[in-house]
Amino acid sequence: MTVQSLLLSTRLLFALTVVMCVSGQFTTTLKTPSGSIKGLVKSVLRRNVTQFRNIPYAKPPVGKLRFKKPVPIEPWEDTLDGTAFGPSCVQYKSIGGDYQWARIENKNLSEDCLQLNIFTTYPISTTDKKPVMFMIHGGSYIIEQGTAYDSSYLAIKDVIGVNINYRLGVFGFLSTGDDILPGNYGLWDMIEALKWVQANIAAFGGDPNNVTIFGESAGAISVTLLASIPSNRGLFHRVIAQSGSATSLMSISLDPIRVAREVIKDVGCIPTLNSTINRNVVTDCLQYVSADVLLQASLEPTTSVHYYGYFSIASQLYPVVDRQLFRTLPVDSLSDPNSAESVFFKSIDLIAGTMENEGSVATYMFYPYEGTMQFNTSDGYPPALLCNVMAPAVARDMFQAGSAVSDMICKRYSTNDKAQRSRNIANLYGDSCFLAPTVQILNFHSQGQGSGKTYQYVFSQVTNTTTLYEKPYWMLGAGHAEETGYQFGPYNQAPAFAATEQARALTETFNSYFVNFAKTGNPNDAGLVYWPEYSNTDRRYIDIKYEPTQGKDLFQARMKFLLEEIPNSLKSDVTNSARNLYTPVSYLVGMIVLNALALYV
């Protein structure tokens, strides 16, 4: 081989990278359309993985850019140092606590947080384009960060992993319900990050024509919301939704103006709750209030289950119907098989699934009632908690119905067995906010003549690991977000998820299913238990655990009650104004879901 051909081969193999050894690790500099980026090469399971960290995809959303759509980042001239993670978006650290933050390398917070991280194997080749898996974190839209989800396990399976930060809470979702503060800034951030990936990922060896977006909890809500926006066509091609659905009212805040008025008044930008909110309020005041003051003003609506003066599971500071991204509620547009939203949604391959015990997060929300109702969570819940608190909230918030539906729910979930009653109360929350809306969106996706494939899973493997609180004796099954402990790592992976050969094998199986899907639209491959496609007629799914099994019609009786029996009872009452389609609401006030989400990363 000549010197010239050797040099040419080297350039092709390393994709214009420059390598040097630093403290047992490597750095590599890559040229992209946005500019040169220096990344860090680390060894993961005897494979070299390159991490390009803290890459800006938009200008800092501060000053006049606060409460605005993200502005694309301009190309940089100097080499960008991508060897250290950037800060997280502004949020309450106390909500996630040590479970969220103990293994986060950069614990700083900043409004200048619109960055992404890219994971791929080393050396980088641009000749064989790899599929891209673009992860959107959960956290009830008020906490978490992309860096909590190390995508190295995905990278060593020959896909490119991307995770992002997006604006949270008041900064990402404050809305007056009009064009003064239209809201959805966090969703616009996600879209801008996807556009950056389309423009740049080929330089990392990625295929911009094979992008899978996936997320857990609020991240799952986000990816299914993005998949219901026809203008996103071409930005991604497949979707994996882990415990979240756009068809639930949990995905949409229905009364954003109430929260906006309270926040804007509390920070001193209007004198009373009834004052006019015009553009000057935003440009002359709201854009220059300190981040800490804004964050404090948003605490009550995002963490109190009594925000309305009574127990409620309605969401606040969430996405809104803005007439830009969403012309109507996603459940309405996706229920119409001929709508533009539905046609786009059904053209995309979909995996949607849940945990066996999504209701695990509900236990935390009832702790404030222990004193007034004289019970102890560890011993179990009293009947009054079901029939006087939870059932009326579900009837009102989810079905816009009154005592008749509340009584139906009370009767269906009641039992004299305290342990089973406690599980039933938790199940009511999990069924309503996660399981039923997931079945609903699977039904919408699989109906009609769409070209996308449809798959359902349930994750049931219980892991003996530290949680936010001691699990009561009556709680059974794998809880909300527990699967992410197997999915991501090894950076910041909790030890329990890699402590045994079985656990490590489950990581291999779980990620193989998802990576196969990202590559081809089919999760199956040799050596894996066959995962059948989902259809409305048989609702087949796979149960992911140490030894996966196939199943049919997951939690049939419980799903039938919420998806058919209650809506049918409302249809028969012509004077009832409740919706004909089941539309579940928020999956839990931010603090509850987010604490649970932080347990396993």
Average pLDDT value for residue range 50-62? 98
pLDDT at position 139 over 90: yes
Predicted pLDDT at 576: 45
What are 140's two structure tokens?
């009830």
Clarify whether residues 381 and 505 are in a common domain: yes
Average pLDDT value for residue range 118-140? 96
Query: Reduced to 3 states, what is the DSSP secondary structure of residue 35?
Result: strand
pLDDT at position 267 over 50: yes
| Euclidean distance between CA atoms 285 and 274, whole angstroms | 17
pLDDT at position 78 over 90: yes
Do 243 and 481 form a contact (C-beta atoms < 8 A)?
A: yes
| 221 part of a folded domain | yes
| Euclidean distance between CA atoms 222 and 229, whole angstroms | 11
What are 321's two structure tokens?
């119907």
More confident residue, 369 or 150: 150
More confident residue, 544 or 8: 544
Query: Reduced to 3 states, what is the DSSP secondary structure of residue 53?
Result: strand
Average pLDDT value for residue range 278-298? 95
Clarify whether residues 316 and 395 are in a common domain: no
pLDDT at position 333 over 90: yes
Express each pLDDT in 483-528 by its tens digit. Answer: 999 999 998 888 889 989 999 999 999 999 999 999 999 999 999 9
Tell me which amino acid residue 295 is.
Answer: L
Do 142 and 91 form a contact (C-beta atoms < 8 A)?
A: yes
What are 190's two structure tokens?
């996600």
Predicted pLDDT at 590: 38
Predicted pLDDT at 469: 60
Mean pLDDT of all residues belonging to the chain: 90
Nearest CA among 364, 353, 360 for reference residue 426: 360
Predicted pLDDT at 467: 57
Average pLDDT value for residue range 309-334? 93
The domain total for the chain is 2
| 87 part of a folded domain | yes
Per-residue confidence at 249, pLDDT binned at 50, 70, 90? confident
Clarify whether residues 385 and 327 are in a common domain: no
Query: Is the whole-model pTM more than 0.75?
Result: yes
| 48 part of a folded domain | yes
Cα-only R_g, the chain: 24
| 298 part of a folded domain | no
pLDDT at position 592 over 60: no
DSSP 264-281: HHHTTSSSSTTS---HHH
Clarify whether residues 423 and 316 are in a common domain: no
Lowest mean pLDDT among 90-99, 279-288, 540-549, 550-559: 90-99
Express each pLDDT in 414-426 by its tens digit. Answer: 999 999 999 999 9
| Euclidean distance between CA atoms 430 and 584, whole angstroms | 11
Clarify whether residues 391 and 325 are in a common domain: no
Clarify whether residues 590 and 454 are in a common domain: yes
- % of residues, the chain, pLDDT over 70: 91
Average pLDDT value for residue range 31-38? 98
Predicted pLDDT at 312: 85
| 153 part of a folded domain | yes
Clarify whether residues 319 and 356 are in a common domain: no
| 273 part of a folded domain | no
| 304 part of a folded domain | no
| Euclidean distance between CA atoms 161 and 52, whole angstroms | 10
Do 162 and 132 form a contact (C-beta atoms < 8 A)?
A: yes
**What number of residues does the chain have?**
601
Clarify whether residues 315 and 398 are in a common domain: no
Range(s) of the domain holding residue 424: 348-361+376-600
More confident residue, 286 or 599: 286
pLDDT at position 11 over 90: no
Average pLDDT value for residue range 244-270? 93
pLDDT at position 578 over 50: no
Clarify whether residues 54 and 89 are in a common domain: yes
Where b means 16+ CB within 10 Å and e means fewer, 59-78 reads bbbeeebbbbbbeebeeeee
| 371 part of a folded domain | no
Express each pLDDT in 195-231 by its tens digit. Answer: 999 999 999 999 999 999 999 999 999 999 999 999 9
Chain centre to alpha carbon of residue 14: 34
Clarify whether residues 440 and 472 are in a common domain: yes
Ramachandran area for residue 16 (φ above 0: left; ψ -120 to 50: alpha; else beta):
left
Clarify whether residues 478 and 566 are in a common domain: yes
pLDDT at position 599 over 60: no
* Cross-strand bridge partners of residue 273: none
At residue 119, φ and ψ (nearest 5 deg) are: -125, 125
Do 119 and 160 form a contact (C-beta atoms < 8 A)?
A: yes
Q: Which helix H or strand E contains 403, and what residues bound it?
A: helix 403-413
**CATH number of the domain within which 544 lies:** 3.40.50.1820
Clarify whether residues 165 and 63 are in a common domain: yes
Per-residue confidence at 468, pLDDT binned at 50, 70, 90? low
| Euclidean distance between CA atoms 598 and 543, whole angstroms | 23
pLDDT at position 158 over 80: yes
Express each pLDDT in 347-381 by its tens digit. Answer: 999 999 999 999 998 887 888 889 989 999 999 99
Q: Which helix H or strand E contains 398, and what residues bound it?
A: helix 391-399
Sequence-distant (≥ 6) Cβ neighbours of residue 339 within 8 angstroms: 333
Predicted pLDDT at 577: 46
